[in-house]
Amino acid sequence: MIISELYGTIRPRYPEFKDRVALVTGSSMGIGKGIALRLAREGMQIIIHGREQDEVSKTVAELQSLGVRVQGFCSDFAEPDGVDRLFDAVRAHHDGLYLLVNNAADLRRTHIDEVSISMLDNQMHVNVRAQFLCCMQAVPMMRPQKTGAIINISSVGGQRAHWRGLPYDVTKGALEAMTRAMSLELARDGIRVNAVAPGAIRSSKTPPPNHETVIEREERIPMGRIGSALEVGAVVAFLASDDASYITGQVLNVDGGITAQLSPPGQPI
């Protein structure tokens, strides 16, 4: 489904979002793009971020065609100044920020014997250090307003290890610990910090629904299907809304029941 058709399927629910500024890192594609699309439908001003200028420009153009107020900035969080360059650009256009969604991540997973030092360093840099620095830069833009939300995109692997899940699962566990610690630090400033942990979510790399790999995976999911980026976006929107005004320091799983399951159907322990 093309983005204009997806946009039309979303029912706005949070009028308090209108004209507020939201930065979604890693939002030129995948889950981040779905989150940005949902927030755009709620009337927010959207800041798209990604590593590749072509992808950023394409997503910005798609949203602009829908009448969304949107800007796009390109930076690589693997570079030492990647976060600084992003926020320098953001501050050049906006005095304040209401919502930061820390979605950008290195998604690679492998076995322990196949983890290189460079892979470990890159994931710690992109998945933990950069998220922390984004928070550090965003908080001064939220404090004057005495309100704001930070939502970190984790993974079910932060709580229940993937088979072949290193070093990715390590970084997501750290991100969830950071979520709890920051929520306590920022509560009195009116800034809430939560995390969303997606399970199996369809992406551009996911085979068609009738593909054998997809069918096998869906058989192991209690709800019997792979989720969508818009379903993750819906949870992000809720956690950033006034309806979630008393929720902070929490991790909300969006996984079709995966983390509640001890063993898949037909494979009892």
Any idea which residues carry the catalytic annotation?
A: 168
Angstrom distance (rounded) from CA 65 to CA 229: 20
**Cα distance from N-terminal residue to C-terminal residue, the chain:** 39
Angstrom distance (rounded) from CA 4 to CA 25: 21
Three-state DSSP class for residue 255: coil
Token pair in block for residue 265: 């159907």
Residues 6+ apart with CB under 8 A from 204: 29, 30
Provide the pairing of β-strand 251-254 with 191-198: parallel
